[in-house]
Structure 1
Amino acid sequence: MTVLARAIEATRQYGDVLALDRVSLDIRAGELVGLLGPNGAGKSTLINLFAGLRRPTSGVVELFGGSPLDPAIRRGIGVTPQETGLPESFRVGEIVDFVSAHFPEPVGRAELLARFGLSDLVKRQIGGLSGGQRRRLAVALAFAGRPRLVFLDEPTTGLDVEARRALWDGIKAFHEDGGTVLLTSHYLEEIEALAQRVVVVGNGRVLVDDTVPAVRGMVSARRVSLVAEDLPELPGVLGSERADGRIDLVTTDPDRLVVELVRSRVPFSGLEIRPATLEEAFLAITSKESANV
């Protein structure tokens, strides 16, 4: 498949902070790629390099075979950054028209607003919108110019479940029509719902680049679920939670955990062990990386 965006040994430093450390990554036409990583992992910096908002300290970043710094080349992308500032006195329809005027063949206003569930807000001033409505509008604007490639940095932050799923539908529709998307998210179920390919970054490096099932399968994380009043400290636990009378433990070594649990002589029942979700795999990958630093 055609490579639309490429980083080759890209490094970016901010003073003494190494945000990206020799990252190499290709984004190919027709992909929907989920970019995962903890805060400070380098996700936003990587998007900024691809979008021409920052230059690499060293290495090469390409967009559509050219430089992301070229305004003519950047016309082929859409971007929603984590933080957006829209003029509050503009009406929703006016800001859509303003952004669309920068492109030769924009999506029609009505079509764009309908795609993201914003049709009933067309005459509302941006200053009167809720935070979630503003976020949906910011995402919609990334698609206004019929881009070939869209970068979405935490697109659904602050949205309720219904609004988030409506936005997912808009992203999916774009992808099904042949569009390419790179998105970051802290909602790991969002990556499972949308992405075909997952890139996990940590400490400025690419840790994993594979499919969602492969990311789950490449770590030994398992969820051990049981009923108990209380538990002693157990080895290898990455995370735990209690709900509806059950205790769920995420671990990379379920056999050892169960052995130690039996040895502790703590009464328990209803023991269940199942494969990791993407979130559990993500915790295992990033925990392993942190331990190696």
Structure 2
Amino acid sequence: MTTPALDVSGLTVRHGDVLAVDGLDLRIGRGETVALLGPNGAGKSSTVSAALGLVRPAAGGVRVLGRAPADAVRAGCVGAMLQHGGLPTEARVGEVLHLVRRSYPDPWPPDDLVATTGIDGLLGRPVEALSGGQRQRVLLALALAGQPPLLLLDEPTSAMDVEGRRAFWVTMRALAARGTTVVFATHHLEEADAVADRVVVLAGGRLVADGSSAAVRSAVSGRSVRLTAERLPDDLPGVTAVTRQGAVATLATADVEATLRALLDHRVPLTDLEVRGASLEDAVLTLTTGAAR
């Protein structure tokens, strides 16, 4: 049986009196792209920190490619981008990259690494002169410098604009195609929906959902009906909530067929009609709110 990239067993992490991770069990296979989702305080960052050996678990533990986290990091098996990752000051990007690459026995060839991460125009720039998005790309290059088989990312695109985020995920897909395991925590649910093979939803330090994005969405019942209508009948069957943006109404409904039939019976024109299933955002909100209760 192949050793998993990440094996979390009964992981419990405390920060003082705060229970950040509560007996979490999670296994991630090699080559998977996995999104960790959930609200602030769900335990995403604490789980990533435990996988990097940065926090000591109160109970349980983590194995990274069959090793203790600290051993895996020392062996160059793990690359990481953390929310508050820093760069040395009073240095140029190329100097920092050269220094980090020298710490690995088999570093990523520099020209390919620079091209892959899109930092070719930044090598001569002082670290202090980088924008937020540029810093993230440089941090990615440093995380990949040792050609790690596992990449752990905590809110990796938080400082990037739309174009930067798109380019970043093109890079992630290319890495996944090479066999790199990518685990990322994010609040950008559209990224998780588009990129991840698997979605893991945490709430209160516990796992509340684990599967493909489609499977997580399908676990939440209900659909939405969107149409242009100045007026709507009261008490439409199945409708649980109505929101408006001008003349456009969105009806959350537990019975879409009954809702549409009632609209037709009341001779409401179905102008610009659109019926949608639950989005990943809807599903995560429902799952995490239910877990909190």
Q: TM-score, normalized by length of structure 2? A: 0.87
| Equivalent-residue separation in structure 2 for 1:22 and 1:195 (angstroms) | 24
What is the CA-CA distance between 1:267 and the residue it aligns to?
10
| Equivalent-residue separation in structure 1 for 2:205 and 2:240 (angstroms) | 22
**1:280 maps onto 2:289 in alignment:** no
What is the CA-CA distance between 1:246 and the residue it aligns to?
1.9
Partner of 1:210: 211
The alignment partner of 2:121 has SS state of helix
Change (3 A) 1:146 1:228: same
Partner of 1:246: 248
Percentage of pairs with the same residue: 43
Q: Deviations over 1:230-281 (max 9, x none)?
A: 889999999876557423355666578779999xxx9996553221222222
Letter in 2 for 1:285: L
Change (3 A) 1:109 1:286: same
| Equivalent-residue separation in structure 2 for 1:237 and 1:202 (angstroms) | 28
Q: Deviations over 1:15-59 (max 9, x none)?
A: 221111110001111111111111110000000011111111111
Change (3 A) 1:126 1:242: farther
After TM superposition, list the pairs within 5 Å mapping 1:193-232 onto structure 2. Answer: 193-229=194-230
| Equivalent-residue separation in structure 1 for 2:193 and 2:147 (angstroms) | 25
Cα RMSD (Å) of the superposition? 3.1
Change (3 A) 1:214 1:71: closer
What is the CA-CA distance between 1:140 and the residue it aligns to?
2.2
**1:31–1:181 contact (8 Å) kept in structure 2:** yes
| Equivalent-residue separation in structure 2 for 1:187 and 1:166 (angstroms) | 15
Is 251-260 or 269-278 further displaced after alignment?
A: 251-260
**1:198–1:210 contact (8 Å) kept in structure 2:** yes
**1:20 maps onto 2:21 in alignment:** yes
**2:51–2:64 contact (8 Å) kept in structure 1:** yes
**1:30–1:180 contact (8 Å) kept in structure 2:** yes
The list of structure 1 runs, each at least 4 consecutive aligned residues, that deviate by more than 6 angstroms after superposition, is 230-241, 255-262
**1:66–1:73 contact (8 Å) kept in structure 2:** no
Change (3 A) 1:14 1:104: same
Change (3 A) 1:245 1:54: same
Change (3 A) 1:72 1:287: closer
The alignment partner of 1:208 has SS state of strand
After TM superposition, list the pairs within 5 Å mapping 1:67-216 onto structure 2. Answer: 67-70=68-71, 75-216=76-217
Q: Deviations over 1:78-113 (max 9, x none)?
A: 000011111232111111111111111111222112
The alignment partner of 2:62 has SS state of strand
Letter in 1 for 2:92: R
**2:136–2:156 contact (8 Å) kept in structure 1:** yes
Unaligned runs of 5+ in 1: none
The alignment partner of 1:3 has SS state of coil
Partner of 1:6: 7
What is the CA-CA distance between 1:132 and the residue it aligns to?
1.1
What is the CA-CA distance between 1:2 and the residue it aligns to?
2.9
The alignment partner of 1:167 has SS state of helix
Letter in 2 for 1:279: E
**2:64–2:72 contact (8 Å) kept in structure 1:** no
| Equivalent-residue separation in structure 1 for 2:85 and 2:208 (angstroms) | 29
The alignment partner of 1:38 has SS state of coil
Q: Deviations over 1:118-160 (max 9, x none)?
A: 1111111111111111112112221111001010111111211
**1:222–1:280 contact (8 Å) kept in structure 2:** no
Unaligned runs of 5+ in 2: none
**1:238–1:250 contact (8 Å) kept in structure 2:** yes
Letter in 2 for 1:131: G
**2:236–2:262 contact (8 Å) kept in structure 1:** yes
**1:90–1:125 contact (8 Å) kept in structure 2:** yes
